[in-house]
Chain A
Amino acid sequence: MRRRFLLAAPALLATPAGAAEDQLTRLMHALAAVPSRRAVFTEQRSLPELDVPLSAEGTLAWTAPTTLEKHTTTPFEERIAVTGGRLLYERPDRGISQEISLDEQPEIQALVEAIRGTLAGDLAALRRHYRVAFQGQAESDWRMILLPLASRLREAVQRVLLSGQGATVTGVDTEGNGNVTHMRIRPV
């Protein structure tokens, strides 16, 4: 798997496994050292069934150890707030406000942990749901590739790609069944 993945990403420096693990550990430490973050994001979603990509934008907020909020403002207001094992979903224009338990929704939980585990610098949490590969340098440009372990999640999402610079996460790309979502993140 690792070898195939490396072949698929030839532009990046092929770091020896031990060194990559070392870099990954250092990156996780650096990420864990940031207790809170605020950022704006833009999102582009391409589906093979659609002529045009769908775009969205909004803000992201992270507060260690477990609180993550994604607030979409365009094209409609939508808010996802996760704290601990609960996820609150709000869609004010539809009057939807729904709380779900992540334990009951393993697929959603895995997707949440991809981002939350990264921001928390919690490698163990990431590895509960994904095979983790790392490329680049912890202090400069890096990419982290997450491959879902659970077959049910793999049916919907085959790969999550996080990229960043040092302790700043700059992008999250999610790929599944030909659907690709690119999220660009800019700290404020």
Chain B
Amino acid sequence: MRRLLLVLLGLALAGGLLAWRVPPRTDLAGFLPAGRTPATTFLLRELQSGAATTLLLAGIEGAPRAELARLSRETAAGLRASGRFVFVGDGSLGLSEEEQAFLFRYRYLLSPETTPEAFTAAALRPKLEALLDGLRSAASPLLARFAFADPTGAFLGLAREWLGENRIRTIDGAWFAPGETRALLVARGQGAGLDSAAQGEAIHAFRAAFAAAHPGEARLLLSGPGVFAAAAAAQIRHDVELITLASAALLAGFLYWRFRSLRLLGLVAVPLGAATVAGYAAAAAAFGSVHAIALGFGMTMLGVTVDYPILLLTLRRRDERLSDAARRIWPRLALAAVAAASGLLAMLGSGLPGLVQLGVFAGAGLLTAACVTRWVLPWLAPDGAGGAARPLPGWVSRPLAALSGRRRWALGAAVLALLVLGATGGPGWQRDLAALSPVPAAAQALDAELRGQLGAPDVRSLFVIGPATEDEVLRRSEALGAAIRPLRERGLLSGLDLPSRYLPSPGLQQRRAASLPAPAPLAAAMHAAAEGLPFRPTAFAPFLAAVEESRHLPPLDAAGFAQGAPTLAARLSPLLGRHGSEVWGIAPAQGVSDPQSLEDAAAGLPDSLGVTFLDVKLETERLLAGYVTATLRWALAGGVLVVGLLVAGLRSLRTGIGVAAPILGAILAVLAVLAVTGQAISLFHLAALLLLAGLAIDYSLFLAISGRDRGSRPGMQRAGTSRSSEDDRPGAVLTCAMSTLLTFGLLALCDTPVLRGIGTTVAAGVTAAFLLASALAAPGEPERG
């Protein structure tokens, strides 16, 4: 008893130490796939941590319109004052005086209308006539402010291009969604999206600014990648805690009810604890950190390892030393553990980081648990756990006995499953990565709604430019803008938000500056253009001075642009990604109705452009499909390996296949259940099926083979003792199956879709596998053997 307590204490210490040194991660970054090409790698990294991930979308509702507008204005003012946000949009959008002056100064370098021809008398004349016409019109007071320094309208053209696209309804200085019951705000936080602490602070600052505006009854709805990440982390943590605590309690309660022995509980905990510590250590050593999903799911998978001590303790014959019993059942135990671990091959081979981690965790744990059961338990409890399991209640044992040997029932069930699969066409494949997201569906729906209302759709189709220097990325962006025109004319897309739309490349800026005329020719051109118009000779002096200044302006770079024009730079920054010294450009496409056609057309763009087209949805679907193919291939290999192991381990083809039959039947049954309940199969379901196969092996091996054992090697047993232990056989396996059901049944209650899918799959499968194994394993076996 003292040894047992010491070992348990040691395991707890080791676990605590590990969790303290290598705390589990809850962010999604380490769990999701990396890309297949540099561009997809960049894209996925950008989606997870780029500037777009610092976006916060907000709605305010639940108050009269005027009150909503006031709240929106005051919240926005609070956000701006907090200094945490590089950009706040709330309906009072507009350029500040300083920003306007800055852009006005650089207008001839930034404007696409700056060409040598634009400053000839012939081109200036219509501009002056239009100016005069404008001065006669109602717009006169607004025109007069800029017109004499900018008669070509370069600045107004830029302002229209940059700010004219906003179609959100503004009331009392606040944006409103259609229906006018929800005020809208958008803010972009500082720092990278991966920095979850900074994201959390930004969210907190947003809520604080709202609270400071005295919202009363009004509600703040907040969305965005940062909010998602926080929600996902909280949900994963919640789920993992729930599973770990509740499944441990349920399992302990159930085992205590079966055995009425605390000592047995302690013994069962040893392989489980050792498996968890070993699995965690292996995963941490292999990957540097362990993801909370891998930990939560891995621990649940390792719940399987309680089978090993239960089988050992309950199959020990009366008066048999535990070490003898361990030696006796070891071939089957080892076979079961190795077969279950080979089933995990598919996870390792899938290539999906999260699944690989899970495979390492569970594989290392399973083998550790088997070894601990074989060598450590006999040392801890040489004479077993004391009390034997209580006999099964009659309402359980009688139907089980009736089920025994009903091979036709088993066959019938398999045929029924096949019929269901045939009739429904089988469960569909889950191709949408979003369905696997731990973010609650309601939060995803709110996000889509806010994005729609704010006109900030999720980026789907885009061109990736680079990596290269900033100058080169901007140059390629300009070339892309020209090359894309034919595709636009074909209606494949309606527009492209290019980085060069806000900031032209330095080369282009220099060419524009060089194309501006010297003072004397410009003055002559203006004089000729104003011939006969009522402008005074000095009217355009500010224009002449501005052109002269522009000729000597150094080109703007992104840093200078950000300093002088923060509002516009906030629009540019999501389009220019930086990783170390590498700069990437992103050009989201608008109005794409057929991404596949656009992708085909984009493939025809010249390679010299140095751009790659990416459709996020198509690409992730392909990525997923790639993982599914790899997983399937490895699952097949794992399946063949398992059957091979069984055949080799049992030294009989027929017995090996006989043991594999309930496993196959259980898989068919699960697929039928998934098809009927309308669940699409994801990678995680696939992994769960493999786990199920590993579990079913235990049941099948111990239920089907024990009988054969007794028949074939009667000399090994004394009749009386054999009787009692063989009677416990269904009870022992049922105990194992119940333990699994208790833990995986809990998974099915999780909110995280991945965990829920696995829970349903395994819970249904374990039930089927146990019933099938019972039906196929037979009391009639010994007679036949």
B-contacting residues of A (Cβ < 8 Å)?
45, 47-52, 54, 56, 70, 72, 75-76, 78, 80, 85, 89, 91, 101, 103-104, 106-108, 111, 152, 155-157, 174, 176-177, 179, 181
Contact = CB atoms under 8 A, between A and B. Distances in A.
A56 B169 contact: no
B238 to A, nearest CB: 43
A160 B536 CA distance: 26
B534 interface: yes
Contacts of B539: 49-50
B535 interface: yes
Nearest to A49: B539
- 6 shortest interchain CB distances as A-B pairs: A49-B539, A51-B534, A104-B170, A103-B170, A52-B534, A54-B136
Interface residues of B, number: 25
A156 B145 contact: yes
Contacts of A181: 140-141
A179 B141 contact: yes
Given A49-B536, A50-B535, A104-B170, A156 B144 contact: yes
A47 B135 contact: yes
B137 A78 contact: yes
Contacts of B140: 45, 179, 181
A77 B162 CA distance: 30
Contacts of A85: 171
A73 B136 CA distance: 12
A51 B536 contact: yes
A49 B148 contact: yes
Contact of A78 (B91, B138, B148, B540): B138
22 contacts: A45-B135, A48-B536, A49-B538, A54-B132, A54-B135, A70-B138, A76-B136, A78-B138, A80-B138, A103-B91, A103-B170, A103-B171, A104-B91, A108-B142, A155-B145, A156-B141, A156-B142, A156-B145, A174-B141, A176-B141, A179-B141, A179-B144
Nearest to B174: A103
A103 B172 contact: yes
B428 interface: no
Interface string B160-179: 00000000011111000000
A75 B140 CA distance: 14
Contacts, number: 68
A89 B145 contact: no
Contacts of A54: 132, 135-136
B137 A177 contact: no
Contact of A51 (B169, B170, B535): B535
Given A47-B144, A51-B534, 19 more contacts: A45-B136, A45-B140, A47-B135, A49-B535, A50-B536, A54-B132, A54-B135, A54-B136, A75-B136, A80-B138, A103-B171, A103-B173, A104-B91, A152-B97, A156-B141, A156-B144, A176-B144, A179-B140, A179-B141
Nearest to B166: A104
Contacts of B132: 54
**What secondary structure prevails in chain B residues at the interface with A?**
mixed
A101 B170 CA distance: 8
B141 to A, nearest CB: 5
Contacts of A103: 91, 170-173
Contacts of B136: 45, 54, 56, 75-76
Interface in B127-155: 132-133, 135-138, 140-142, 144-145, 148
Nearest to A85: B171
Contacts of B173: 103, 106
Contacts of B536: 48-51
Interface string B265-309: 000000000000000000000000000000000000000000000
B137 A91 contact: yes
Contacts of A152: 97
B104 to A, nearest CB: 13
A182 to B, nearest CB: 13
A56 B134 CA distance: 13
B142 A107 contact: yes
A108 B173 CA distance: 14
Contacts of B534: 50-52
B200 to A, nearest CB: 34
The listed residue with most A CB atoms (<10 A of its CB), out of B135, B140, B171, B172, is: B140
B513 to A, nearest CB: 27
Given A50-B535, A50-B536, A101-B170, A157 B138 contact: no
Interface core residue of B132, B138, B169, B539 (most chain A CB under 10 Å): B138
A59 B173 CA distance: 32
Contacts of B538: 49
